[in-house]
A and B are shown apart, each in its own frame.
Chain A
Amino acid sequence: MSSKEGSGGFRKRKHDNFAHGQRKDEKDNVNSSSSLMVSFKSFQLELDTRHDKYERLVKLSRDITIESKRTIFLLHRITSDPNGEEILNESEAKLEAVRQKIKQVAQELIGEDMYQFHRAISPGLQEYVEAVSFQYFIKTRSLISVKEINKQLIFTMEDKEEETNTPSSNPYDKQLCTWSLKVTPVDYLLGVADLTGELMRMCINSVGNGDIDTPFELSQFLRQIYDGFSYIGNTGPYEVSKKLYTLKQSLAKVENACYTLKVRGSEIPKHMLADVFSTKAEMIDREEGLS
């Protein structure tokens, strides 16, 4: 007899027995105003409130991710566009919009333990770090620091009502009437690790545009970041070590590009450089044709 039949049989047998009747009484007896039920009603409220907040944060985080991605795509156009200044201004406006979203996140987290909802917002923050650091690199050719990022994420209180009834977990926030969202070191690291992928793309793009200097700058910068990550190595959390592998690949690509430029750059006309990096096989043929 299969277990399904068994339970079915069990149920059938139970139809006309005392236990079943008694059970029914018990079900009715579960007094909706008993202390247990009252406390479970309050649990229901508490859990629902928490889940709702979590979902709102996930939604915000996804918006932040999408907007940051778009900013990155926009910044990639700089390599081929003479109007670099214009694009930078546009990206600044976009990032400001992202920061407005982050402000909403910070508002949701007033008086909460940020780490309780960290999993909801972490992907968005990483993407934001990536976008901001990419823009910063394009402007200054250096790496933005965590401090710098967090400086931009301090928001001033707009409606004064809120400060009276929300006990902020950070006492100094309360004094300044501002609240801020802190990017954690791990979020920052993961964002920077993603940044290297974008830099690699930027390198290949600039080669395609006949820009000979940028790849060398980029390879130097990437090497510094890679050394930094190697220095951290296994002391960081698991996700960081996972990114290290991809980072290595990006670095190798950029270094190879620089190598090719160095060795053959003098031999190949600039307008053909793009093809050099697009297909290896073709490159060999072409070279034979050239020589």
Chain B
Amino acid sequence: MSLQLLGITVLWTFLYGYLIVASVDFGAGFFAYYGKITKKDHVINHIISRYLSPVWEVTNVFFVFFFVGLIGFFPDTAYYYGTALLIPGSIALILLALRGSFYAFGNYGAKKGNSFYLFLYGATGLLIPASLSTALTISEGGFLEKKGDSVEFLAMKLFASPYSWSVVLLAIVSVLFISASFLTYYADRANDVDARNVLRKFALFWSIPCILASLLVFTALKGHNARHFSNALDIWWMFGLSFLCFLVATIFIYRKKWFGWAFILVMLQFFFAFFGYGASHLPYILDPFITIHTAVTNDAMGTALVIAFIAGLFLLVPSLGLLMKLFLFDADYVRGKK
């Protein structure tokens, strides 16, 4: 595997990691708020906060990791995205900042159950995936224009694009689906039948829009970037596997069985779809300005980054394992006895 390909695979894996952990987090915020206004908060909110409290900072790191790595491996991305995304990027940043800090304020500081914090938390939980997903939309090309030594972002074109809206829709509904299926599993582990039933309904409710939105994205992609679309057709089996995983997961959840496996299958569903999307996107990182070949950093730095990455994994994987062992797989903690 070439260094470039290795680099982008590493980064894509991190983005996938962020997709999963952040979805759980973002969706949880929305469900917590929804629970509050429909007066179901006493049933589900303690489950949500018991899971989120020890892990919320870790979620943020996945994201930082991705963009630091991207700039490291492909410094040109800093130039194009940086120049073009000043305003949308700053808005996403401000939302992330509000969400992160208000989570801590609400959970550790203020009176419990303050609905203003919860509203901020729930609303940003849906706005952030929408705003972050536009970076992916832009990578398809057609929304940036090079003028002299400046890059301009064609915001109006993005607003008018059906492809862009289908991606936003997919981002939001997948967040809700991933989150609900995880929380169902978590509530089930806690032996909390009431919470599980509520969350299971959420999961089932969001499963259909999730798959419809994926189809919509495909159709819109055909109109927006034919090259990418035909690349995707070449690896159709990736998307087929993704759909299969989705089906089995939904059946498990519907039949109230094997919630743990169901969540793993949901993760696999997104794994195949996300990597299928990523693979067919190549060799472009930002169509047509940046490919993995033109923009890669020099070999010495690339090698150093890969070495640092592997060394880092030796540190991270066991620590993440410990975190999960203590808070995810420790039955007593999940049940609130610790």
Is the pairing of A and B real?
no
